[in-house]
A and B are shown apart, each in its own frame.
Chain A
Amino acid sequence: DAGVTQSPTHLIKTRGQQVTLRCSPKSGHDTVSWYQQALGQGPQFIFQYYEEEERQRGNFPDRFSGHQFPNYSSELNVNALLLGDSALYLCASSRTPNYGYTFGSGTRLTVV
């Protein structure tokens, strides 16, 4: 049973560029949440997708956007990258929005 899969695992981008991160939820899960984890910090909630809609959003600017597809997979897009966007981006899926999450291994984004 495949868990949550994320791609790519590592990425290096230049300031001002745009990036798209991808996530496939665990089988049987329909809710996908995205988190940003800076070094030494706990994950920060970006947003959650359920039924192809953004249901909740954390304190992140509009440069962060997302999408959920009919097969429940999801994308996170970040425009106009800043150095401060360098972090581990975690995707988490759950059976319902209020259930415990299963996390993917993350995408480590470095902005130079």
Chain B
Amino acid sequence: RKEVEQDPGPFNVPEGATVAFNCTYSNSASQSFFWYRQDCRKEPKLLMSVYSSGNEDGRFTAQLNRASQYISLLIRDSKLSDSATYLCVVNGDNFNKFYFGSGTKLNVKP
């Protein structure tokens, strides 16, 4: 079983839509969680950390569900510029090792 799993998509949504991605992880001892965004042929960029209590940054909300071992990312009022691949990142049983999901592709259309 992979350490981190994501639905590859693509998610095709109109501008202004709300879209949510989930990511499941296998190691119940994981403590650190992040969402990264990666544009085509570019490096991943940190979008936000995911805290136990959930956190929000503008149109983006991240949640952690430890009981079901998944994290989620909600994007409200989607913009064309949100089109990218969203990568979920979880640390392993050692804080020094991080695992990436394969990414979920989002296409926001006019």
Contact = CB atoms under 8 A, between A and B. Distances in A.
A42 B101 contact: yes
Interface residues of A, number: 23
A42 B97 contact: no
A33 B98 CA distance: 10
Contacts, number: 49
Given A42-B102, A42-B103, A48 B96 contact: yes
Interface string A79-112: 0000000000010000001101111111000000
A64 interface: no
Interface string B67-110: 00000000000000000000100010011111111110000000
Nearest to A4: B43
Contacts of A35: 100
Interface in A11-50: 33, 35, 40-45, 48, 50
Contacts of A50: 96
B77 to A, nearest CB: 25
B44 interface: yes
10 contacts: A43-B44, A43-B87, A45-B97, A48-B96, A48-B97, A55-B96, A56-B94, A56-B96, A58-B97, A98-B31
Given A44-B100, A48-B97, A50-B96, 5 more contacts: A42-B6, A45-B98, A45-B99, A100-B49, A101-B98
Interface of B: 4, 6, 31-32, 34, 42-46, 49, 87, 91, 94-103
